[in-house]
Chain A
Amino acid sequence: MKRIVSKGDAPYYYLKVLLEFEDKTMTVDVLTFRTVIMKAMMSMYGEIGAAVPIDILKYDVETMSAILRVAGSNMVKLWGALTMLSYYDEKPCAFRVEQVSPFLMALAASSRQLLLHTKE
């Protein structure tokens, strides 16, 4: 097993997020999902915020959940912008941030045990 020692700020942070609409039947594809994030950053931090590089590593259309990667220095900004998002296209919605970690591996299991979008 390889041991990783992190010193100082991590270069990247990984966020496991989930987009939720008040209207449960709504679904968005990955491009729209990206636009939603851009709009959130834009409304909170303007053009400079929108210029922050954010990568969508994985996106699941069915649950509208994704794993985002962002530079450690921009993590608080992104998280704040996602929290403050309330509408997309006049439709009420919310980002639920399930997990945040400097290591992608950590997203494999949840310590918070949030029971979000449990499939019936």
Chain B
Amino acid sequence: MRNSEKNKMARFCDFNVPYSENTENLRQIVEMAIKLGYESVALNCTVTPGTTKGQAVVPPPPKPVELSEATLAPFMVQGKAFQQLTRLTAIIETHEQKYKVNPNNSTITAYDILAVQPLNLKMFEAACKELEVDIISLDMTQKLPFFLRLTPIKRAIARGVHFEIVYAPAIRDSTLRRYVISNATDLMTFCKGKNIVLSSQAEKAIELRGPHDVANLGVLFGMNQAQAKDAVSINCRSALLHAETRGSAVGVISIERIMKQTPGVISVERIPSASTDKRALEKDSGEGQDREDPPGKKPKLVAKKKIK
């Protein structure tokens, strides 16, 4: 990933390619993504964290798809690199499942991106407000089980968490399309086109669409042109960077005492004021000692008083 960072500006990303054991199908999807102009894909594993022990363990991240030289040739010509990431989507419904999605779990940190799919309002609010995740994915292919509300969404945007809209179900079926459009426009009224990631969730290569086509879909969902383009490029990148900081945000605070002080006493340097120029200094060193109240002394007294 470090090598490819020089071409970071408008990389097109698709952060939801469902991972399956069917490697041939997966390879076809990734190859189609390359053909359409994507420079980065994320292989997605969806899990439901188990409530009891030994149930639905988080699988290790999938290995990147092996691609032939010929498919990668267009990248070689332009001096770019194709990026394959891994993403974990946890479906959360209960509090126990919520706590399973903590970033301290080493299998979870092995994934590049962490997403959650909340199934009820409580989990949605938790995901927006406190959970350390990068993407909140809502199942938009059905009527949402809760009403979206402005406060948690605003909070999520402030924290840099992104919302995902998947478009492949909308392409697959006209009923799903209706739900996706209605839910997406609904979401758009709250987040006003900000922090949206458009991704495919394509199960077949033919369901994938080019990044510019997807951006146009974003316009149909209610974003403006620039926001729609960001939703397939810059927002994906910032979600990825959010994921990176999540791993590195383990900090250490050390408190050190700089100097010892007895309370109430401060050593005050005697600074001659601007009015006491050269002449005053001379007096000070010589015959000026008989003067009772040199102007330079005044600040000292004042300072002491203030401390008391």
Contacts and interface: CB of A to CB of B under 8 A. Distances in A.
Interface of A: 20, 22, 43, 76, 79-80, 82-86, 92-94, 96-97, 100, 112-116
Contact of A96 (B36, B74, B174, B217): B36
Interface stretch (B106-114, B205-213, B237-245, B282-290): B205-213
B212 A94 contact: no
Of the four ranges (under 10, 10 to 19, 20 to 34, 35 or more), the interface on chain B belongs to: 20 to 34
A80 B207 contact: no
B82 to A, nearest CB: 14
Interface string B210-225: 1011101101100000
Contacts of A80: 216-217, 219-220
A46 to B, nearest CB: 12
Contact of B206 (A20, A84, A113, A114): A20
Nearest to B74: A115
B171 A115 contact: no
Given A76-B220, A80-B220, A86 B171 contact: yes
Question: Chain A: interface secondary structure?
Answer: mixed
Given A43-B174, A84-B177, A97-B210, A92 B216 contact: no
A84 B171 contact: yes
B209 A93 contact: no
Contacts of A115: 35, 74
A114 B212 CA distance: 12
Please give me the 6 A-B residue pairs with the lowest Cβ-Cβ distance, nearest first: A83-B213, A80-B220, A79-B216, A86-B171, A22-B206, A92-B206
B152 interface: no
B148 interface: no
B168 to A, nearest CB: 9
Contacts of A100: 212
